[in-house]
Structure 1
C-alpha cells in the first residue's frame, strides 16, 4: 500500500482478501491498548467496515488477564462517549502474529516483547499524523491527564489506521475483480 502522506508507513495486505485483522498491544492490556481497541473499533464501525475489519487487544504481561480496563482509562473513554464496559484483559501469544494482518504496539518494549519490527508489526504511533514514530506513553503511574493525552493520540492515530485499512481493503477488492 502506498501511504497517503510522506513518511507514513505502509500497512501489509490482508491475509484474506476483503478482511483485515488488527491487534493492539501494550504491557498489561488495561490502559493503552484497550483504549485504542475501543476507539479503533468505533471508527471502523463508523467507516462501515465492521463486517470486514476485526480489532482486538492484548498485553505482553499476564498480570491482569480477565480484568476490566483501568478505571481511569474507562473514565476517559466514557467522558468522550465511548463504552469501555466489555473489555477484559487478554495475554498476547505468538499465535496473534499469524492471526492478525497488523500488530500495532504501544512502545519499544512491547515491540521487543512481540519479536521486533516487521512488515506486520509496527509501532502504533508510526501512523500518528502528529509525532509519527513516537511511543504511546504509559499513563498507569500518572494522573488523569495522562489518560486524556493517550486518548487524544489514540483518536487521531486510529483515524489514520482506518484510512490505511480502508485503502487496503479497497485495493484488495479491486485486485480480486
Structure 2
C-alpha cells in the first residue's frame, strides 16, 4: 500500500481555525473511507497554546455540527514542509510565516491558502474568530466545510 497522503492545516495559534479544519476534514475522510490513506494534522505559526485543546467556543460550534475537535495545539516546524504533501494556511500572514521556514524555496508549491479550495464562498482568507462573537465561529465552519470538500476532491485524484 502506498504511503498515506499527508495534509497539514495551519493558523496562528492552532486553537480555532486549523483544528476545526482538521476535524471537518477528518469527518469527510472517514465518510469517504480514506481513513488509512490520508493523514491529517494541524499546527500554529505561534507556539503559545502548545499542548492545549481547541478553544471551547470553537469546540462547541463544531460539536453542534457533528465534529469532534480533540487535537492538541502544536507549532509548525521546518520539518513539516518536508513531511506533508499539502500545507493549507488560513490567511496571508500564515502564508508568509510558513513560507519563511522554506529557506531553499523548494516547498512553495505545497503551501497554499485554504480558501483556494472553496467553491461556494468568495472569501480569500478564513478570518480568525478568536476575538469576535459566536457568528465568527459559524462563518469559519461554513468556510471550512466548503473548502474541505474542495480539498477532498483535490486529494482524491492524488489517491486514485
| TM-score normalised per structure 2 | 0.91
Residues in 2 aligned to 1:131 and 1:151: alpha-carbon distance in whole angstroms = 12
Cα contact 1:17–1:169 (8 A) shared by 2: no
Segments of 4+ moved more than 4 angstroms = none
DSSP-derived class of the 1:114 partner: helix
**Corresponding residue for residue 103 of structure 2:** none
Residues in 2 aligned to 1:34 and 1:104: alpha-carbon distance in whole angstroms = 12
**Corresponding residue for residue 156 of structure 2:** 166
Which 10-residue stretch deviates more, 95-104 or 133-142?
133-142
| TM-score normalised per structure 1 | 0.83
- Residue by residue over 1:43-83, the C-alpha shift from the partner in whole angstroms, topping out at 9 and shown as x without a partner, is 01111111110010000000000011111100110111111
Over alpha carbons, which structure has the higher Rg?
1
Name the Cα RMSD after superposition. 1.6
Which 10-residue stretch deviates more, 158-167 or 108-117?
108-117
- For structure 2, list consecutive stretches of 5 or more residues without a partner in the other structure: 101-106
1:157 Cα offset (Å): 0.7
More helix by share: 2
1:29 to 3, 14, 30: 14
Cα contact 1:126–1:133 (8 A) shared by 2: no
Residues in 2 aligned to 1:147 and 1:114: alpha-carbon distance in whole angstroms = 24
DSSP-derived class of the 1:69 partner: coil
Cα contact 2:44–2:74 (8 A) shared by 1: yes
- Residue by residue over 1:95-115, the C-alpha shift from the partner in whole angstroms, topping out at 9 and shown as x without a partner, is 000110000000000000011
Which 10-residue stretch deviates more, 127-136 or 35-44?
127-136
Residues in 1 aligned to 2:55 and 2:123: alpha-carbon distance in whole angstroms = 25
- For structure 1, list consecutive stretches of 5 or more residues without a partner in the other structure: 1-15, 171-177
